[in-house]
Amino acid sequence: MGACLRRGGAESVTFHVEAARAPIRLARELRAKGARASMALRPATPIEPYADMLDELDMVLLMTVEPGFGGQKFLDLVLPKIRRTRELLGDRPIWLQVDGGVSAETIGRCAEAGADTFVAGSAVYSADDPDAMVATLRDLAVAACRH
């Protein structure tokens, strides 16, 4: 797997914890092969059962929509989970990413709650000027982190 990861350009691998039988073993194997290990959680999956394994990860991805297709509406009910995850991460150098419904209207709330890495698909690709939208989203996230 290690050579395949490097040849394929996979420096980071994210797995859905709900689909992993042995998430700690998987995270350790990914890291041993030279990839960053990242765990994704669906909106209704709580972070607390996984608190003890956070040191095995390089990133936690919180889905802010149900996975499956783009263009869904951001689920505000995930904001408290973003805050709680940030609390659990503390000062560890682990990224907290959000994915789903991230847009100019939602990225600030995500950043204020503690997210520091963002996946914005539909907001960027449906924009008249995708480059300008990326710059806008970056500015909004940075501004929210300053408050």
* Average pLDDT of span 11-33: 95
Buried b (16+ CB within 10 A) or exposed e, 84-106: bbbebbeeeebbbbbbbbbbeeb
Strand 117-119 to 95-99 pairing: parallel
- Flag whether pLDDT at 126 surpasses 80: yes
- Flag whether pLDDT at 67 surpasses 80: yes
Q: CB of 101 within 8 A of CB of 69?
A: no
Q: What tokens does 123 get?
A: 């907001």
Per cent of the chain over pLDDT 90 is 81
pLDDT at 57: 98
pLDDT at 144: 87
pLDDT at 8: 63
pLDDT digits (tens, 9 = 90+) for 102-122: 999 999 999 999 999 999 889
Q: CB of 114 within 8 A of CB of 85?
A: yes
| Mean pLDDT (the chain, rounded) | 91
pLDDT at 72: 83
* Average pLDDT of span 36-40: 97
Tell me how far apart the 2 most distant CA atoms of the chain are, in Å: 44
Question: From the CB of residue 50, how many other CB atoms can be counted at a distance below 10 Å?
Answer: 19
- Flag whether pLDDT at 2 surpasses 90: no
**DSSP collapsed to 3 states, 20-85:** CCCHHHHHHHHHHCCCEEEEEECCCCCCHHHHHHHHHCCEEEEECCCCCCCCCCCCHHHHHHHHHH
Which range is least confidently modeled, 48-52, 58-62, 65-69? 65-69
